[in-house]
Structure 1
Amino acid sequence: MPMPRAAALAFGASLLALTTARAQTAPPATPAPSGTIDLDAITVTATKTPELAVDALSGTSVVTREEIRRLQPSRLSEVLRDVPGVTTQESPNDPAQAINIRGLQDFGRVNVLIDGARQNFQTSGHAANGVFYLDPELVGGIDITRGPTSTIYGSGAIGGVVSFRTRSIDDILLPDERAGAVQKWSFGTNGQRFLNSTALGARIGSAADVFGQFVYRNNAPYRDGLGTLVPDTGSELEAGLAKINVRPADGHEISGTALLQRFDFASRGSSITGARFANAVAADTYTLGYRFARPDVPLIDFSAKGYYTTTHNQLTFLQDAASGVYGQLGTRVGNRIDYDIESPGFDIHNTARFDTWDVRHALTIGGDAVFDRVRTSDEAGGFGGAFTPSGTRTLAGAFIQDELRYGAWLRVIGALRYDQYELAGGAYRSSGERVSPKLTVGVSPLPGLEFYATYAEGYRAPSVTETLVQGIHPFPAFSILPNPTLRPEVAHTMEGGINLKYDEVLQPGDAFRAKLNVFANTVDDFIAIQAVGPTYFVPALAGIPASICARIPGRFPCVIPVRSFQYLNIAQADLTGVELEGAYDWGGGFVSLAASHVSGRDRATGQTLLTVPPDRISTTLGLRFLNGNLTVGTRLTLVDARLNVPPGTTVLATKGYGLVDLFASYQANDRVRADVIVQNLFDKRYTQYLNLLASPGLTAKVAVSIKFATR
């Protein structure tokens, strides 16, 4: 299915042709109406200083609250597929998700933040190695920067940063409203039973505001496009969110957030073939921050945030798989496995704005640290404790960044980051440090047109699991070995891009925005799990001790040849790609497109990296009626096949597919809103790459929101 790549290049050429012709006579661009185009939304992930996403000298995208409301996602993957270069890996029988950026994921390569707090939870298995829990109904916006941003966002972000902002008082109240509430109910088909969301808040003059939200979601198992029930894909969520902001004096703000989520679901593993466990997940995030910023004090824009995140997954054994492995090891109904990670941390930085002759500066200096404490207890077979070992890891660093502007045509961003890590578990210890540079140059030869180029390096320390994992796989019984000598990964990235921003393109009041970028990323000492050592034989029948095969190798029942596995440093991994994002809004409607192509290989073997996603195009067309109160539209997603899966893995090759969604939103008045969406309109049976289970077939959802407010 070669259409996505060819269409992306063709569309990119047409966009450049259109805007280059327009650039000959275009006046300086003015901002489009607020909220019209997501690329006009504010981002801070690129540089920690606010700017429009379309102006960022990086592959930066923003998903707004309006887009989330329109698509009514049950999982965040349903909105992230509209972001170029971003894919997800998930187990449909587990609400957790992992984010892949430009073919990089797992073990912190993508830094996921919720209200500025790092999410570092991970358990080993046949799914992603690094997931987070967050219901989309709690999200007020998503800020994404692809590529090497670790100079300002902490160690490890060699893939990029995804920052989730939970909802706040500005999501439910207008500036002149003092207090109010928004009540939302949603119902659906194909497992989408019921969603309740209650949000309320109040402003106490200009001195303070408070906000709270409660979410309850109940999903049942769904059916795929062939009508086959996919078992254990239901779940139940209870979540609470509380926020407070206090402004004791002009320019000063103290903020606090508490997010508590409780997920309950049953699972037989990512491929529904393992032992069945009841899962009770508690995912909590707490933050406390202080900021001082005032226009008359340009040398101080100070921000300090401390946070504490904890994710605890309690698995209770329900029944064994057909193999009977757990039962033969003495596991009984009610035995538990507990995975727990605590991640306290902080982020402090200040931006000073000043001029030196004709050059304007925004000099940001800061530091951050996170302290991971992983604890696993296992009374149900021992596999969980072996493959997700207990241990501690500290990541700390400091950075300096200067954004320079000369006139309206030149921008330069230079940054340095110092990283240091320490890891410990059992008898093993490791540590390391490095300085990573970044340099970006942006040139705007014509109003509305800007070219940029970046060279950046990133540094990722090995995780506790990669270093300390040690045990016997349940069946077949091969060994997984620890590797305390793992070296950190170092990424070297070259990136170039074009930002386009024009108004009054075809008619008065319209707006066009686009970003096109290409990248080449070489990762030294890339860490991947590899087969090591000689071939040996293990039993073909589950439950028989592997030790007997030392005496009768190659004879029944010891007839399965295997090798041990271990996380190793690959000499180099190369990733290259192109991303395109564009949108046009003419008042009476809008059209957007996101396309990406990524290729990646192990330079030593030439094999394609397992986590490289297939090509994808996503486009949305919406039309507005009744003075903009009614919006109807469709979304088309085209995904290429991924057939060249490296041998010896559990990942499945996937066919190409196309999906069509229909949506409608009606704002009856300033108090009542209704949203309808039909997903997978043609009931297509498909499996997302890296997932082991088919995705849902045709699904319809309807939501009604009612607002109450006082002025």
Structure 2
Amino acid sequence: MTSPLANPLNRRLLGASALALVLSASGQAFAQTTPQTDETDDATTQLSLGKIVVSAGVEKIATDTPQAVTVLNQDDIDDTQASTIGDLLDDVPGVYTAGGASNLGQTFNIRGMTSNRGEVLMLVDGVENYFEGYRMGAFFSEPELYKRVEVLRGPSSSTLYGSGALAGVINFTTKDASDFLTGDDRFALRTRFGYESNGDGKLGSIIMATRPTEDVDLLIALNGRTSDDYEDGNGDVVTPSDASANSVLAKARYYIGGDRKHSVWASAQVWESDSYQLYDQITGFTAFGTVRRRTRDEAFAVGYDNSFEGNDLLDLKAQVSVSETLTDQDGIALASSLGYASEYSYSTVQARLENTSKFTLSPDWTAFVTAGLQYYSQERRNPRYKADGSPLSNGATTHPEGDTTRYGGFVQAEILWRDKLVITPGLRIDHTELSPGAGVVVGGGSTAVPEDATNTGYSPKLAVLYNLTDYLNVFGSVAHTERMPILDEVYSRSGTAPVNLNLDPEKSDNYELGASLTLRGLATSSDRLNAKLTAFNNTVENLITSASATSGYFINVGEAKYEGFEVEAEYATRSLFARASYATVDATNETTGVLLNTRPADELNLNLGYVLNSLDLTVGWRGEFVSGITNYNATTGAVSSTVDSYNVHDLYATWRPRSGSLAGMDVRVSVDNVLDDYVKNNLASFAGQGRSFKLSLGKTF
């Protein structure tokens, strides 16, 4: 079946038509619109753009945020019945999963830039979760751990979270005991079981939450997931795509005082797996064969929150975390050069302190100022062994051992004038120090030990949002950020190409324009329409690329440009809901004129559902339409491969009794890829799943 997005002109016309349809509807309904931002209203519970955003500064709904933002809450997460984090983010416009097929480490792409280079920051409870994965994914986790995901697209997020977030931030929030304890409850138990037919996937989850005293909340969550190799739409078994993983989350919070706005907390999270993968999981290159990888990812954090009720100048948050990711692997085919067995360990210490102050400047002007400090330190080790167990090397020439230390400071103000204007200036400064580890030499014929490398990055921005009417606002932003070179880029070398201590940071200048629309009372007294359009132009200078040149294994070359737009629209009544999103991006090496192979295909996502309130039942259809795309040789510009367009259709139903003995139960059934089409994303190493039946049963006691 040919996708309607196969033709580039059709893609642009489709996106423009969607926007025109939204604006046409709004023009007919202005006179009867009553603005409302109540996230809990029955008619708006299905609307993502009406949800509160907490990661962009002062809390606000998505339509009032001057950048592209998508929020997934607990219901969204449960409804996806996701087997991997990539599945969870599949419908978020402008976000794509790259690399492996299973949940054993994944890499994410936003607007043509990737998380494995630090261009997309991955955060868990505000703590950065990142390492330079060598031929493997770099984010290990379980969808069942989370109650909320916020995806902030564009480099404006660099101010609060770190220089180098050229593409954006994905912030995951883990579950809390308070999510399950209501009223005077002292104990709650949540169980969930899932099954997936394609690959014989199974999930078991149990959560225990307790409040032994009024001031203490405790939670422990246990999850286990396993699956065999799945089949693609052609009926071929995708090998290796089997996976087995277990995870544990434990959290405790002690409230100081009676208002529950002053607390100390601690959390521990462990994820582990043991499975076979392609050695080169990121690109799907099969020449090296498969490898057994045993991974354990653990993180421990303590924090302090105090809103200082009654004091506008203090709203303090502080936290310290320690994490370690360890992967043991063996069975590599090219044992003589790569090591038959090896260990990859990443030990990280982080600290963050921030405070938000409120200033009432006049009856019309109010300002919120968020300021903070961050510290990040990571040790990377990679001992490799021969088949007889004797040492071979510390790291590889293209995966050197080393240490990274980063100090950061930031300030962001949100200045409000009446209910009309929001001005958001911000500035962040980060200083990074890189140190070579054991076995690292200058290379290029020299066996000298290289020096440390230091860089300082600056991230200023200015965003403005103006409410033209009660239902329509426009916004724009200018943001500069700098992605500082990472260990691989500075200390990789060969016999002819040396390390490059003189690499300059990549410098991004991003411009965005957009508009948001909120309408109510179009066809009924309580229905609602939300829409948001964001257009962006991001130029990255000093692009870092592998060259194996006499001046360095990695060098700075010219610049790249990323430009495109994202449009989201959604409509809901108390029974009917519909969502649509469309994203397109062009990514070009401006020096050579060649399109970059990290650019994703254009994608249209549709979701249409109906709520049968009398039966507590929701039924719906999802459609994903992805355009074909051509990849090019980065040097010659010649066509290197072509990826076909594809369509995916899913059917789903959710039953959640609200009363009686079955209250607290939820049953979710879906058929993914109903037509059993062949699916292959141009950024993925493997074909996606063919038709699959999914069932999940949950119950809260």
- Asked if Structure 1 and Structure 2 have the same fold, meaning a TM-score greater than 0.5 normalized by the shorter chain, the answer is yes
Give the Å deviation of 1:385.
2.7
Paired position in structure 1 for 2:313: 299
Q: Do the aligned partners of residues 214 and 526 (structure 1) sit closer, same or farther apart at CA in structure 2, a change above 3 Å counting?
A: same
- Secondary structure of the residue aligned to 1:7 is helix
Amino acid at match of 2:276: A
Task: For residues 93-133 of structure 1, give each alpha carbon's deviation from its aligned partner in whole angstroms, at most 9, with x where no partner exists.
Answer: 562111111111132111100111111122233x66xx211
1:177 aligns with 2:170: no
1:662 to 640, 643, 651: 651
What residue in structure 1 maps to residue 426 of structure 2?
415
Once the two structures are TM-superposed, the CA of residue 189 in structure 1 deviates from its matched residue by: 0.9
CA 1:436–1:414 in structure 2 vs 1: closer, same or farther (change >3 Å)? Answer: same
Checking the alignment, whether the CA contact within 8 Å between 2:120 and 2:169 is kept in structure 1 is yes
Is the CA contact 1:150–1:459 (under 8 Å) kept in the aligned structure 2? no
Q: 1:238 to 1:569 in 2, by over 3 A?
A: same
Contact kept, 8 Å, 1:232 with 1:266, in 2: the verdict is yes
Q: What's 2:693 paired with?
A: 700
Match of 1:545 in 2: none
Q: What residue is the counterpart of 2:447 in the other structure?
A: none
Distance 1:387 1:340, change over 3 A: same
Q: 1:175/1:448 Cα in 2 relative to 1: closer, same or farther (>3 Å)?
A: farther
Q: Distance in 1 between matches of 2:302 and 2:522?
A: 45
Query: Superposed, which structure 2 residues align to 1:549-628 within 5 Å?
Result: 566-627=553-614
| Cα deviation digits, residues 364-410 of structure 1 (max 9, x gap) | 11111211211111114769633221111112211111111111111
| 8 A Cα contact 1:93 1:266, kept in partner | no
Q: Is the 8 A contact 2:494 2:548 kept in 1?
A: no
For the pair 1:68 / 2:77, whether they are aligned, the reply is yes
- Alpha-carbon deviations, 1:31-70, whole Å to 9, x = none? 24354322222212222x2221222111111012111211
Is the partner of 1:22 in helix, strand or coil? helix
* Matched AA of 1:280: R
469, 472, 475: which one aligns with 1:449: 472
Alignment of 1:17 with 2:17, yes or no, is no
- Distance of aligned partners of 1:192 and 1:38 in 2 relative to their CA distance in 1, 3 Å threshold: farther
- Which residue of 1 is the match for residue 217 of structure 2? 209
Matched, 1:349 2:366: no
The residue number in structure 1 matching 2:485 is 462
CA contact 2:527–2:573 (8 Å) conserved in 1 = yes
The CA deviation at 1:268 is 3.0
Give the conservation status (yes or no) of the 8 Å contact 1:279–1:315.
yes
> One-letter code of the match for 2:652?
F
Rounded to whole Å, the distance in 1 between the matches of 2:509 and 2:270 is: 38
Corresponding residue number in structure 1 for 2:324: 310
- Alignment correspondent of 1:401: 412
Aligned with 1:33 (options 34, 40, 58): 40
Retained in 1: the 8 A contact 2:35–2:518? no
Q: Residue 512 of structure 1 corresponds to which residue in structure 2?
A: 529
Please, which moves more after superposition, 70-79 or 638-647?
Answer: 638-647
Q: 1:117–1:308: 8 Å Cα contact kept in structure 2?
A: no
Pair 367,631 (structure 1): closer, same or farther in 2 beyond 3 Å:
same
Q: What residue number does 1:50 align with?
A: 59
Amino acid of the structure 2 residue aligned with 1:567: F
The one-letter code of the counterpart of 1:657 is: Y
How many residue pairs match? The answer is: 659
User: Alpha-carbon deviation of 1:501?
Assistant: 1.9
- Aligned-pair CA distance for 1:30: 4.1
Give yes or no for the alignment of 1:374 onto 2:380.
Answer: yes
CA offsets 1:120-173 (integer angstroms, 9 cap, x no match): 122233x66xx2111111121101111111111122212111001122224433
Distance 1:184 1:395 in 2: 40
Q: Deviations over 1:342-376 (max 9, x none)?
A: 22111211111121122101011111121121111
Q: Deviations over 1:243-297 (max 9, x none)?
A: 1111122431111111100111112333344233211001112221111114422
* Residues 497 and 549, structure 2, Cα contact 8 Å, conserved in 1: no
**Which of 240, 255, 265 is the equivalent residue of 1:247?**
255
User: Alpha-carbon deviations, 1:556-577, whole Å to 9, x = none?
Assistant: xxxxxxxx99322122111111
Q: How has the CA–CA distance of structure 1 residues 626 and 152 changed in structure 2, closer, same or farther, with 3 Å as cutoff?
A: closer
CA contact (8 A) 1:4 1:638 kept: no
For the Cα contact (< 8 Å) 2:395–2:401, is it kept in 1?
Answer: no
Tell me the alpha carbon deviations over residues 7-51 of structure 1, each in whole angstroms, 9 at most, x when there is no partner. 22211111122224433452333424354322222212222x222
Identity of aligned residues (%): 25
Residues 643-700 of structure 1: per-residue CA shift (max 9 Å, x gap): 1333579985311111011111111432321111111111111211122221111111
The unaligned stretches of length 5 or more in structure 1 are 473-478, 534-563
Which residue identity lines up with residue 100 of structure 1 in the other structure?
N
CA distance in 2, matches of 1:481, 1:693: 34
Q: 1:395 to 1:413 in 2, by over 3 A?
A: same
Whether the 8 Å contact between 2:103 and 2:141 is mirrored in structure 1 is no
1:19 partner SS? helix
Please tell me the residue identity of whatever aligns with 1:571.
G
| Distance verdict in 2 for CA 1:434–1:705, change over 3 Å | closer
Q: Offset at 1:193? A: 2.6
Residues 197, 214 of structure 1: 8 Å contact kept: yes
Question: Are residues 1:90 and 2:99 paired?
Answer: yes
2 CA distance for matches of 1:205 and 1:36? 35
CA distance in 2, matches of 1:293, 1:8: 43
Corresponding position of 2:445: none
Q: 1:20 to 1:57 in 2, by over 3 A?
A: farther
Cα drift, residue 434 of structure 1: 3.7
Question: Which residue does 1:538 correspond to in 2?
Answer: none
CA distance in 2: counterparts of 1:424 and 1:468, whole angstroms: 9
Give the letter aligned to residue 174 of structure 1.
Answer: T
Query: 1:537 aligns to what?
Result: none
Code of the aligned partner of 1:658: N
Report what 1:228 is aligned to. Answer: 236
8 Å contact from structure 1 (residues 168, 211) kept in 2: yes
* Partner SS, residue 274 of structure 1: strand
More deviation, 33-42/612-621:
33-42
Amino acid corresponding to residue 605 of structure 1 in structure 2: T
Distance in 2 between residues matched to 1:441 and 1:465, nearest whole Å = 37
Distance 1:409 1:521 in 2: 28
Counterparts of 1:628-639 in structure 2, within 5 Å, are 629-639=616-626
Aligned to 2:508: 491
* Higher mean displacement: 490-499 or 245-254: 245-254
SS of the aligned residue for 1:137 comes to helix
Work out whether 1:256 is the aligned partner of 2:266. yes
Matched residue, 1:431: 454
Q: In the alignment, is the contact (CA less than 8 A) between 1:459 and 1:490 conserved in 2?
A: yes
Q: Name the residue aligned to 2:117.
A: 107
Contact 1:588 1:628 (8 Å CA) reproduced: no
SS in 1 for 2:397: helix
User: Partners in 2 of 1:280 and 1:123 — Cα distance?
Assistant: 14
Pair 330,407 (structure 1): closer, same or farther in 2 beyond 3 Å: closer
Give the Cα separation in 1 of the matches to 2:432 and 2:493.
22
Secondary structure of 1:385's partner?
coil
CA distance in 1, matches of 2:183, 2:584: 42
TM-score (norm 2): 0.90
Counterpart secondary structure, 1:466: helix
CA distance in 1, matches of 2:509, 2:534: 16
How far residue 306 of structure 1 moved from its aligned partner, in angstroms, is 1.2
The offset of 1:604, in angstroms, is 0.7
Instruction: Determine the C-alpha separation between the residues in 1 that align with 2:561 and 2:182.
Output: 48
The one-letter code matched in structure 1 to 2:576 is G
Please say if residues 4 and 639 of structure 1, whose CA atoms lie closer than 8 Å, have aligned partners that are also in contact: no
**1:468 corresponds to which letter in structure 2?**
Y
| Structure 1 residue 414: Cα displacement | 0.9
Q: CA deviation at 1:89?
A: 0.6
